[in-house]
């Protein structure tokens, strides 16, 4: 419950404010540019084809959430109902949206799963494996798309702000962090959990890391509990868990392609998809809640060149975030109070009555 209390109401509005400020700045920059022509917006028209591709983009968003829901049911071995899985994923997405990208919502997700009736050991295993599978998608995905699309094409940005090199460095740093994390997770979960625990304890005894020692102790406990749960799983368990992960992340990236198709012809779908994967890797080190502000700026710089109409990439960035990010803030804001009431407040009242 202490973790939930950290999610203050102002944290719900902070990412919205940051995102809108950045979008406002980008709009101002575009409108004040000598190259900007307001008549460009007249070239955009809504047709039945636009409606179709908007519908497909929402199907992709549904596919993203469905992949997560299927995965958490697979990892719980169907102990979680569809309704419980939906509730956990929505609350998890909400928490991720109001915390920095470098933290995500995993610190609270363990409680979401456990409070739905899953043992603490199994809940730890579910959260650990979820994190591992997500990172594996990126670890495997980046070299794959770089090989197919071409490494130079991923970072060859037509921009004068220096983001070509900045994006390359951000992605490289984030990728190395993810790779180290995956290797440590595999070692800790499947090879030597006790040895990994001792290593982690040793690292967090260092003077400048002591403030995070309590979190390290909890992580070691979770890994040891998870290891016992996971070593006996069959290959089919891992196949379905990873396949649903692929469905979720891949659906997330196709949303932008669909939004583009709603207004103009797209010539290089795979490169657009690949650059989004790179964007999300780089967003790992974003200090803002849910990557707000930075995601919009990256979209403008990194995907703007695929939009054939000059000066309106910012509008597409805003539209993208409106349908893929802000809904989780709204859904979570409505769901969280009821969930807290059901899982904490009502149970306290029952205990009082029993006494």
For position 134, what pLDDT does the model report?
92
- Structural domain including 89 reads 2-354
Per the structure, the count of domains in the chain is 1
Q: Is 323:57 a contact under the CB 8 Å cutoff?
A: yes
For position 160, what pLDDT does the model report?
47
Q: Is 89:71 a contact under the CB 8 Å cutoff?
A: no
For position 350, what pLDDT does the model report?
45
For position 273, what pLDDT does the model report?
93
Q: Which two tokens stand for residue 32?
A: 């004040």
Other Cβ atoms within 10 Å of 90 Cβ, number: 22
Beta bridge partners of 100: 289
Tell the residue number behind the tokens 């610190």, with chain if given. Answer: 107
> In a 3-state reduction of DSSP, which class is residue 32?
coil
For position 66, what pLDDT does the model report?
95
For position 137, what pLDDT does the model report?
95
Which residues touch 164 (CB under 8 Å, ≥6 apart)? 155, 156, 157
> In a 3-state reduction of DSSP, which class is residue 289?
strand
Other Cβ atoms within 10 Å of 239 Cβ, number: 11
For position 244, what pLDDT does the model report?
96
pLDDT, averaged in runs of 10, over the chain (355 residues): 52 65 67 55 74 94 95 92 94 81 64 85 83 93 89 67 67 89 86 78 67 66 74 87 95 93 88 90 74 79 80 80 85 83 63 51
Among the listed residues 221, 198, 217, the one whose alpha carbon sits nearest the alpha carbon of residue 125: 221
d(CA 166, CA 303): 15
Q: Is 224:163 a contact under the CB 8 Å cutoff?
A: no
């Amino acid at each position: 419950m202490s973790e939930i209390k950290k999610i203050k109401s102002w944290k719900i509005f902070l990412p919205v404010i940051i995102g809108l400020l950045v979008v406002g700045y980008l709009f101002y920059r575009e409108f004040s540019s000598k190259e900007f022509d307001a008549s460009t917006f007249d070239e955009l028209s809504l047709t039945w084809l636009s409606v179709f591709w908007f519908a497909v983009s929402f199907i992709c968003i549904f596919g993203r959430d469905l992949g997560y829901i299927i995965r958490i049911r697979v990892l719980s071995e169907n102990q979680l109902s569809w309704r419980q899985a939906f509730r956990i994923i929505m609350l998890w997405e909400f928490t991720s949206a109001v915390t920095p990208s470098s933290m995500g919502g995993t610190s609270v997700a363990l409680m979401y799963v456990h409070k739905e009736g899953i043992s603490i050991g199994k809940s730890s295993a579910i959260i650990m494996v979820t994190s591992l599978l997500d990172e594996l998608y990126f670890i495997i995905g980046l070299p794959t798309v770089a090989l197919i699309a071409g490494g130079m094409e991923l970072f060859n940005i037509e921009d004068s702000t220096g983001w070509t090199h900045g994006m390359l460095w951000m992605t490289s740093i984030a990728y190395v962090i993810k790779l180290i994390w995956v290797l440590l997770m595999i070692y800790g979960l499947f090879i030597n959990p006790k040895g990994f625990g001792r290593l982690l304890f040793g690292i967090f005894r260092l003077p400048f890391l002591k403030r995070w020692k309590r979190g390290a102790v909890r992580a070691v406990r979770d890994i040891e509990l998870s290891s016992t749960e996971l070593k006996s799983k069959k290959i089919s368990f891992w196949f379905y868990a990873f396949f649903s992960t692929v469905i979720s992340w891949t659906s997330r990236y196709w949303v932008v392609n669909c939004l583009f198709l709603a207004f103009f012809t797209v010539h290089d779908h795979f490169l657009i998809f690949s650059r989004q994967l790179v964007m999300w890797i780089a967003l790992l080190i974003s200090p803002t809640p849910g990557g707000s502000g930075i995601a919009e700026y990256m979209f403008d710089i990194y995907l703007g060149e695929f939009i054939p109409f000059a000066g309106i990439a910012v509008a597409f960035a805003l539209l993208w975030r409106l349908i893929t990010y802000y809904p989780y803030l709204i859904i979570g804001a409505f769901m969280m109070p009821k969930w807290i009431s059901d899982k904490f407040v009502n149970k306290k009242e029952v205990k009082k009555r029993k006494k």
